Structures are given as structure tokens and as C-alpha cells.
Amino acid sequence: MPREPGRKEKSNHYFDDWIIRKLMIYIGCHLSVTNGYEAMGRQMTEFGGSTFAWFTRNPRGGKAKDIEASDVEKLQAILEKEKFGTLVAHASYTMNFCSAKPETRANGLDMLKQDLQRMEQVPNQYYNFHPGSHTGQGAEVGIQQIADGLNQSLWADMNTTVLLETMAGKGSEVGKTFEELREIIDRVELNEKLGVCLDTCHIWDGGYDIVNDFDGVLTQFDKVIGLDRLKAIHFNDSKNECGAAKDRHEKLGQGFIGMEAMKRIAQHPVTQNLPFILETPNDDAGYIEEIATVKSWF
């Protein structure tokens, strides 16, 4: 029987079932929402990208910017015309509903509920958040509080998928292992609304060797969480060695992960068609260059 066009030959590789007819990812970076949603779409088109991220409010907290329906409609037209992938909104860094301080937990939960209601105005996109830091309560308590917060905030017909981000293990961060993320997911009633955003710097700093054994890391992710939950990639090099637990992003190819490993990650059959968000320490020109570099791999 002749080989189907675009189909890989049979082997014993773990990822044989991930048949990719065309290598393709969506690539972009964080943009400012200051000038509105249409402006972000136009800016990313000028950057040469095909997805982007934005903070739903100031990264350090504060009131969220009002959303105008006409502005979002103009963005939607750009997304359709330019064939963008799914966008990845990012919660404030200060949102922490597993803190030992009740007022911090309450404030974080309010942020989550408000953000998810507002995301309905930018439909069918992703909302990514850092699970939080247990601040001395212990990971088990933190995991339960995160799940409780999600159970209070998700609803059956919402059109946003909420992404738990993999963390580096700095301080008392929850979500530094796939097992901790799985524990959160299992305790959420509407967990079909949940996915995972894999941050390359974070998991490297957290001890997952994506340079020498990315297949092995993905195999572990699949067995613990399930590859169907992998929805987005934060695409960053790292200033640190594997397992440093420090979370210090670096430009592509200039850190300990290195360009060849970044390229392998981007071209892996499992990561195709996912939004890749650059969070490297760059200005606009740097992001334009990195977007062009990643696109040159396809």
C-alpha cells in the first residue's frame, strides 16, 4: 500500500499517532492593550506574527480597561483575514487565590471572576494564569484553594478556555510539576474548560530537561495530564541551568536552552498548530526578529 501523502512511515516512536500533514505553529508576543484590540491585531500583523498575548489588566494589578464591542469586531475581522491562531490573554501577576492572606485570596478571586466575564467579549480565546503561591501553607492547601477558586468562577457555557501555566518552582509557587497541575485539574468540576500553557523557561528551570529529552518530557506530560490539555506555549530561553528554579527568561538562542533545542520544540509534531507566545526580554525590533526566525523554521 503506498504511503499516504504527508504521512510519516510507521515506527516505534511514542508520537506515531501525531500525524502532521504540514508543519505550522502560530507565533507572536505580548502586546499592550492601551490603544485597543484592533490596534493589537494591526500591530501583530506588522510584526509578521499570527497570534499574540495581552494582559487583561495591569500586570501588577489594578482596574481593567473597558472593552468596546466595535473594537473587538474590528479585531475579529483582522484575525479572520490574516488567519491568526487562538489568542492568549494573561492574568495579572498579582492574582493569587492560594495566598495565606484571606484578603489576597479574595482579591485574586475577584480578579479571576471579572476577567472571565470580560473575556466573553473577546470570544473563543485562551485565558492564561499563574496558579499562584501558597506562601507557606503547603502545596496541598494551595492546590485545593486554586481548585476551589476555579469551581467558583467557571460556568458551563463559557466560551473561554482557562490555561494553567507551568511554573519554575520559585519560592512557594504551585504548578511546578505536572502532578500538581493534574491535582488542580482533577478537583475542578468543569475541568473540560481547562488546559495547560507550557512555558519553556519555566519547565526547564523547574527541572524538566527539554534540551536533551523533549520527547521524554512530553511523554511524561501525556501520562500525567494528557496532551489534549496542551493548548499553548510560552516560548522562552532561560538564563539559568536546568533545575535552577529561578524563572529568568532569555532571548531565543542566548540562554541555556539554546536555539537548536528551541527549533526542535517548535517543529515537534505535538506542538503544531499551537499558539507560541514569546516572552523574551526584547523591544519591538527584537520581537520582529525572533518572529521572523521562528517562521524561517517552517
* Cα angle 278, 123, 175; round to 5: 50
Task: Annotate 187-211 with DSSP letters as a single string.
Answer: T-TTGGGEEEEEEHHHHHHTT--TT
Nearest C-alpha neighbor of 115 from the set 33, 30, 230, 234 = 33
Residue 134 assigned as binding residue = no
CA 265 vs CA 69, 102, 202, 294: distances in Å: 37, 40, 14, 11
Report the distance separating Cα 197 and Cα 234, nearest Å.
Answer: 7
Distance CA 97, CA 104 (A): 7
The per-residue DSSP string of 75-134 comes to HHHHHHHHT----EEE--TT--TT-SSHHHHHHHHHHHHHHHHHHTTS-S-EEEE---B-
Q: Is 234 annotated as a binding residue?
A: yes
Is residue 66 marked as binding? no
Whether residue 30 is annotated as binding a ligand: the answer is no
The answer to whether 90 is a known ligand-binding residue is yes
110 marked among binding-site residues: no
Distance between CA atoms of residues 51 and 157, nearest Å: 24
Q: How far apart are the first and last CA of the chain?
A: 29
To the question of whether residue 249 is assigned a binding role by annotation, the answer is yes
Whether residue 115 is annotated as binding a ligand: the answer is: no
Is 228 flagged in the annotation as binding? no
Contacts of residue 78, Cβ cutoff 8 Å, sequence gap at least 6: 38, 41, 42, 45, 84
CA 171, 248, 111, 50 torsion: positive or negative? negative
Binding residues for Zn(2+): 90, 130, 165, 199, 202, 234, 247, 249, 279
Binding residues: 90, 130, 165, 199, 202, 234, 247, 249, 279
